[in-house]
Amino acid sequence: MIGPSGQAGSGKLGTRSRAIVALSVVFVVVLVSRLAWLQTVKGPELAALAQQQRTRVYDEFARRGSIEDTDGRVLAYTMRSRSLTTSPNVLRAEAAERHTWNPKVNPPPEEYLSTIAHTISEKIAGSGASARDVDPEEILDKLNKDSGYEVLVRNVDPDIAAAIAAQFQGIAADRQDVRVYPNGAIGENIIGKTSADGDGQFGYEAWADSTLSGSDGSVTEEVSADGQTIPGTLRDRIPVINGSDATLTIDLDVQTFVQQQIEQAKANSGAEHVSAVVLDAKTAKVVAMANTGTIDPTGDIIAQRKRGKSFGNPAISDPFEPGSVAKIITAAAAIEDGKTTPDEVLEVPGSIRMAGVTVHDAWNHGLVNYTTTGVFGKSSNVGTLLLAQRVGEDRFADMLTRFGIGQPTHIELPGESQGLLPDRSQWSGGTFANLPIGQGMSLTLLQMAGVYQAIANDGVRIEPRIVEKITTPDGTVIPADPAPQTRVVSGQTAQTVRTIFQAVTQNDPTGINRGTGPAAAVDGYQIAGKTGTAQQVDPNCNCYSNSMYWITFAGIAPADDPRFVIAIMMDKPQRGPHGEGGQSAAPLFHDIAAWLLNHYNVALSPPREGPEQLTLHIP
């Protein structure tokens, strides 16, 4: 018989069974709910995370375009390179761990690090054309640093870097493009440079950064848990677009010569700075544009900056008061409007008073008979203002605009200044006593060259340009857009003005018909040009200084059949460009012009019939 106790035991067992079943049901419900939550709520997120963990995106970097001179000689290009990098802390820890596991096979960490340093040094030293000395002790110092990342050596041949990385666990060969400037400091004020990240920083590199840099590409692949590529998973390819190549208008030979000449002139004259611009007379293309103190990007840039060198381009960024070199504008206006002729004789006193301002010539004299040619050949301020009065203020303001004064040239370089020219509405009583003789306004050396280019090009001013063409990655050649042109004066006026300004460079042993710049003359060629001496402002008195000057010269070679315009500015010279007495840029113009005419084998000019008459005796 089953007694009461047996029934009770059976009841307890049933209760436990029901509890177990209930707990199991709860567990299943929780499990199913969790699974449902994972699949429905967290599922997409987890799937995306898994996809992300097995997905690799590989960047494909664009090649930066090269920069060449007008003859195709390379001025800048990009070289594929590598940097050897490591994590010193991780490298040492792993070396110590390997040595602990198997000291017979794995050397102590200090020995391993020394082997790395000396192997890197030896392999780079023996890498052929890219060989260079790398101090193993410097590498060893970096390997022993308390650091998570160190660049051991930059600019390593890719094959050498890959071999080193394969030999030593923990050493990586990181991609590093190197921008190479094979000509050092030559033309660097034009070319500029790129940053460590490959972005344009200065000069044309900065101005044309988007054109030169191109666009990086990428490709996506999936990999297995052990890092192997999963076949058939290649997707999302973004094609790389390499940068375009740029051909500039500059001639490397001319740029080199001009840069050497102005550096020598600076040293000889004691000037703070010297700049020179050479334009093609007919097209206004920049053949050379040089400044002293240009940095060599292949050297120690920090040390060069401390010595005052820079990537700046004062020829386009630093305006100055031109002085008498700008008198050619007054001459052109007077001839164009028929206000005078080259042979007209003017009675020129030693001073003139205009709107309450008294202007003197640079030398003391009484009443002198100068021809119009003599006014400019002798650089008479008074005679120039007499002619300017005939032209009138409104017409003269118009001529300044036509010659591009106070306007940017839109040269394809960053940092250009438009100079300074008072608006016609703001002219005061003394403004017209200053502007016709090159005072009261400022212009850049490139603008000054542009004034003479208009006269050289039979009266048509063309905005100067420095880009010849762009070549796209697929080989398509895109010529530079035509530069804007302005008819300034007639062709006949321009020819007459060129004849007048040849008097500046003519010599005369008696001095009567000698111009102010005979040292600019080149044997066998007719040379037109103008000297300039402009006082700088003394910051101590905020007045014009009697010891600090901008010395300028701009000219056309040859004048009878113009090929080149050359403009020069010397900042505060103490002597001439050859170290001689006086402060004239004419000798430097001669050196550059003579070399150019010979370099391009320019035909000699026809001989002229005697000197121009500059001064007539007053009976």
The mean per-residue pLDDT over the stretch 359-387 comes to 95
Q: Which of 207, 416, 201, 453 has its CA nearest to residue 313?
A: 416
Nearest of 201, 194, 157 to residue 175 by alpha carbon: 157
Quick one: pLDDT band at residue 14, thresholds 50, 70, 90? low
Is 324 annotated as catalytic?
Answer: yes
Q: What is the model's pLDDT at position 397?
A: 97
Q: Which of 66, 213, 244, 324 is catalytic?
A: 324
CA–CA dist 236, 431 (Å, integer): 67
The span from the first CA to the last CA of the chain, in angstroms, equals: 170
Q: What is the CA radius of gyration of the chain?
A: 38
Query: Could you tell me the CA-to-CA distances from 187 to 245, 297, 299, 591 in Å, in that order?
Result: 17, 11, 15, 19
Looking at residue 312, its amino acid is G
pLDDT level of residue 339 (50, 70, 90 thresholds):
very high
- Alpha helix stretches (DSSP H) within 168-292: 188-191, 203-207, 209-213, 252-269
Residue 280 has pLDDT above 60, yes or no: yes
* DSSP H helical ranges for 134-195: 136-143, 158-167, 188-191
Q: Return the minimum-mean-pLDDT range out of 101-105, 431-435, 453-457.
A: 101-105
Domain ranges for the chain: 54-76+177-248, 81-176, 252-616
Q: Do domains 54-76+177-248 and 252-616 have the same CATH topology?
A: no
pLDDT above 90 for 32: no
Q: Domain spanning 54-76+177-248: which CATH class is it, in words?
A: alpha beta
pLDDT of residue 88: 93
Tell me the pLDDT tens digit for each residue of 194-233.
Answer: 987 889 999 999 999 999 998 887 667 665 555 455 666 5
pLDDT tens digits for 536-593? Answer: 888 888 777 788 889 999 999 999 999 999 999 999 999 999 998 888 999 999 999 9
Q: What is the pLDDT of residues 117-174, one digit of tens each?
A: 999 999 998 877 667 888 999 999 999 999 888 999 988 888 899 899 989 988 988 8
Mean pLDDT, the chain, whole residue set: 89
Rounded CA-CA distance 388/384 in Å is 6
- pLDDT bin (cut points 50, 70, 90) of residue 44 is low
In the sheet where 67-68 sits, what is the strand order?
178-180, 74-79, 67-68, 245-248, 467-471, 477-479
Q: pLDDT of 463-509, one tens digit each?
A: 999 999 999 999 999 999 999 999 999 999 999 999 999 999 999 88
Indicate whether 9 pLDDT > 60: no
**CATH class held by domain 252-616:** alpha beta
Q: What is the pLDDT of residue 3?
A: 46
410-432 residue pLDDT tens: 999 999 999 999 999 999 878 99
Q: What's the rounded Cα separation, in Å, for the pair 464 and 477?
A: 21
Measured at the CA of 66, the angle between CA 62 and CA 68, to 5 degrees, comes to: 170
Cβ neighbours of residue 592 closer than 8 Å, sequence gap 6 or more:
257, 258, 261, 276, 278, 566, 568
